[in-house]
Chains A and B, each alone.
Chain A
Amino acid sequence: MAGLITAVAYTLASLGANSEIPARIGPFLGVLLLLVGAAHLGVRLLARGADGTMLPLAVLLHGIGYVMITRLDERLASLQTLWSFVAIAAFVATLFLVQRPTDLARYKWTLFFGGAFLLLLPMVPVLGVDINGARIWVQLGPLSFQPGEFAKIALAIFFAAYLAERRELIAASTWKVGPFRLPEIQYIAPILVAWSFSVLVMVGERDLGSSLLFFTLFVVMMWVATERVSYLVIGFVLFGAAAFVSWRLFDHVQTRVDIWLDPWEDEYGKGFQIVQALYGIGDGGIVGTGLGRGSPDKVPEAQNDFIFAAIGEEMGLVGATTVLMAYLLLIGAGLRTALRTDRTFDKLLATGLTTILGMQAFIIVGGVIKVVPLTGITLPFVSYGGSSLLSNYIALAILLRLSDTSARRLGELPDDPTPRERWAAWRLRRSGPAASDHEQEADDRSPVEVAS
């Protein structure tokens, strides 16, 4: 269904722009159906119990984004096609490799250091590249990518795993500071380190959007894990303080706030992007100018951070609302997964990944339509960019895996052992009856450990 909508939109966009049925409609449809079919088959084979709405919603967003990118820049569109292949492949591979969510929890320290490494990567003199004032890119030969996009998944997994293990200890909060009861410092330290590290690095790289995203992720996961509202309060106070300090200290933060308050003050300078975006969105009105018939290319970076403005212009309120509804439904599906599962780690991970997705979309859409100050991050699944697409599909695969696992656990599907578990069990049976008492326990532990 989502594939069909994308195909129709693609045709319409070409009709609007060149008033002819696109010449490449055949190959396009083939590639599209191939990709969607592969992803769908991957889910059916590898995560049969997963929520059935998430993949179609993601594909719909991906499709709308792809059509918009095609309409804006043919060259980028062919790159995006390549990235789509890679992303779908990574999606299926993730589903295949992560057969049990607990597999991820075991690598939390690896992910912690991996995430830190990724975050630091752009700071490396030769590798890091400044693009549009933010140093969040890594250039390796012809390839460039944003490691931050992957770091956010790694950190979400780390937070979830760490908090799942220690949440009682952290929630116990025996350490009193004034009216607040805080957890013992040694339990909270790794989280604080991870969080402050990521935020500091992001501020250092001038990536305000991602800083905000990491901050929200941290506060929300602490709050959900401990169910203590004080974390929210402390979080927002800290955020307010940090925002104020950075506003006072950094010129570029002040500029962002000034533009947000009145973009027309410097309409042809700093405010140009957002003013043009608002013109476009206003021009779109309720039903939009029609695909290919607006001029979203007036907005710099329309294919990237500002793709929502292009959608608002050419597809109008209807199209923009569809995109927002798709995110809301994705958030709903993600949080439903978090509610259904009875495992703490699964719950926290689903919450974390959903929060990242929901907040990321909110931050950039809100920035484009002047609800919050503009901070440049990509619109998940929609914006142009390989790193973004890839990481979001990986996150989606993990969410689907979580959803599938909870369905199996609730008995909606037979909880068949995974091939690896079968193999481990077979090895165990081979190694002697003495070990068979521990088979159940072994299932939950690493097959590698068992094998070694």
Chain B
Amino acid sequence: MNRAIRQLAAALIALYVMLFAALNFWQVNRTEELASEPGNTRALIRQFDTPRGPIITADGVVAARSVQAPGDSDVKFVRTYPTGDLFAHLTGYYTFGLGASQLERTKSGVLTGDTFTQQIRALDNLFGQTNDNSGELRLTVREDMQAVAKFLLGPREGSIVLMEIDTGAVVAMWSYPSFDPNRVADPDYDAAFDYVTELQADERDPLLANAYQQRYMPGSTFKVLTTGAALDAGVIDLESFWEPEREFLPPQTSDPIQNYANSVCGGDLTEVFRRSCNTPFARTALELGPERFEDGIERWGVGDEIPIDLPRAATSTVGDFDDIDEQLPLLAIRGFGQNDDQMVPLHMAMVAATVANDGVMMEPFVVDAELDHDGRVISRTQPEVWKRPISRRTAGILQDLMVEVAERGTASCCIALDDGISVAAKTGTAQLDGPGEPERSHAWIIAYAPAEDPKYAVAVMLKGTTAEISAGTGGRLAGPIAKSMLDAAFDIEPDGVDVDVAPTTEPSE
């Protein structure tokens, strides 16, 4: 019988070797495949079981934080957004079933305390009472400024960007329509899913920020870029003069280019810029020619993704230049911001800031600092130069031109600031309708102030979705918004405590 018992032992060992092999297969070989199965929520649960730090605005308001989950939940914490839709496009959302977006996604490591620095600093927690080493994000964006922007824009589709000129720090960046991240992060998965489905079905794309994830035809605000490129290339200067004309017939076509409202327009550079004539800039673009035009525009960062510390920023464009030699009328039209020109609103704020900043374009950012669980700074965003699109001299000329626009030009109706603070601006009314179509246009303005010692730049864009906006001009529609935005910015005391925030700080829910 002993032989059979030994054989039995061998057989049982063989069975257990099978188990070892299978165990190794699942636990070593297939770990990653299992982890990436869509039904596997373990990694998510682990994330949701650890505390997650808050996202706090520059003026100390909590924009996102974790609270204890209700008792019957799968996880210990749920994410809430006390500011509602106000910071939705910045913080994004952090959900159990629907993933994460924006800062919640890209800065997740800091918020959960997973970065190397935080892990090292949390070593002393081994002996303490807590294992919470979740970090915290400090934004450059102010809750009060964001609220003002929301109030000013109201129910009009569009965006407002307010940024610091010398650093590139974004102070307000509001896009309408927005969404409520609380509803996306609803612990009730079905409710959250329904809400996201509804948002995705909305053709206004509320999940995408108009301010930095969409691009729009810039209209005459684009003349700043064309003028900068032409001044740098030496094609034009302050003495350049264009005969007043009603229309201009570019080569290769019989369809003439007209000025806004079919007016007769001309004069020296200051005058045509102030009055925002179209034909002089069409001529300038042709004079530059496709190569110099494209090169000069690209130096402004058009064609590059905007280097903001938020994911999936859009890229401005001036369209395809492949066959432009046979399509010179298109080049001419692009010279004043129409045809295929499409600018990201944030990018236009950066253009205004670049002019004000003597030709230096800073990288925009919304995260001021990353802090660890004890409030110590892990990293603070250092202002970085992105591009130098124009020379200091050219910037100086553009500054004078934009002050002219604000004081005597297309923006003079509406942009003058309180307390006599000087301001510079350029308006834009981007005509979207083709011949014979109902009038439709975006209303733009870019501005900075104070003109002599620039501090803030602003870009306001109203989408041409309503008859009211389409009938108006950038100066009349967007101008007052830019003025109020800048006024509000200058109402803030230097130490960050606001004394008298304009119309209202209460976001209308």
Contacts and interface: CB of A to CB of B under 8 A. Distances in A.
B30 A227 contact: no
A375 B2 CA distance: 31
B5 to A, nearest CB: 5
A81 interface: no
Interface stretch (B36-44, B144-152, B223-231, B468-476): B36-44
B23 A328 contact: no
Contacts of A281: 23, 26-27, 34
Interface residue SS majority, chain B:
helix
B131 interface: yes
Interface centre among B1, B39, B45 (most CB of A within 10 A): B1
Interface in A331-371: 331-332, 335, 338-339, 344, 347-348, 351, 355, 358-359, 362, 365-366, 369-371
Nearest to A337: B5
A370 B26 CA distance: 10
B37 to A, nearest CB: 7
A278 B34 contact: yes
A369 B3 contact: no
Given A295-B46, A298-B42, A327-B16, A332 B9 contact: yes
Interface in A274-291: 275, 278-286, 289
A344 B5 CA distance: 12
B87 to A, nearest CB: 31
Interface residues of A, number: 51
Nearest to B29: A282
Interface centre among B8, B37, B131 (most CB of A within 10 A): B8
A298 to B, nearest CB: 7
Given A227-B4, A285-B28, A320 B39 contact: no
Nearest to A16: B131
Interface residues of B, number: 38
A344 B1 contact: yes
Given A278-B34, A294-B42, A366-B22, A284 B6 contact: no
Contacts of B252: none
A37 B41 CA distance: 42
B116 interface: no
B23 A324 contact: yes
A282 B31 contact: yes
A283 B34 contact: yes
Contacts of B24: 317
B27 A286 contact: yes
B23 A366 contact: no
Contact of B26 (A19, A278, A324, A335): A278
Interface in B167-208: none
B392 to A, nearest CB: 58
B123 interface: no
A377 interface: no
A116 to B, nearest CB: 26
| Interchain residue pairs A-B with the least CB separation, the first 10 | A282-B34, A224-B4, A279-B40, A317-B27, A283-B42, A371-B22, A335-B9, A369-B22, A358-B12, A282-B31
29 contacts: A19-B129, A19-B130, A19-B131, A227-B1, A227-B3, A275-B39, A279-B34, A279-B37, A281-B34, A282-B30, A282-B31, A283-B31, A283-B35, A283-B40, A283-B42, A285-B28, A285-B31, A295-B42, A295-B49, A298-B45, A312-B27, A317-B23, A324-B19, A328-B16, A338-B5, A347-B1, A347-B5, A355-B8, A362-B12
Given A282-B35, A331-B13, A351-B8, 15 more contacts: A224-B1, A224-B8, A278-B26, A281-B23, A281-B27, A281-B34, A285-B27, A285-B28, A285-B31, A317-B28, A321-B20, A328-B16, A339-B5, A344-B1, A347-B5
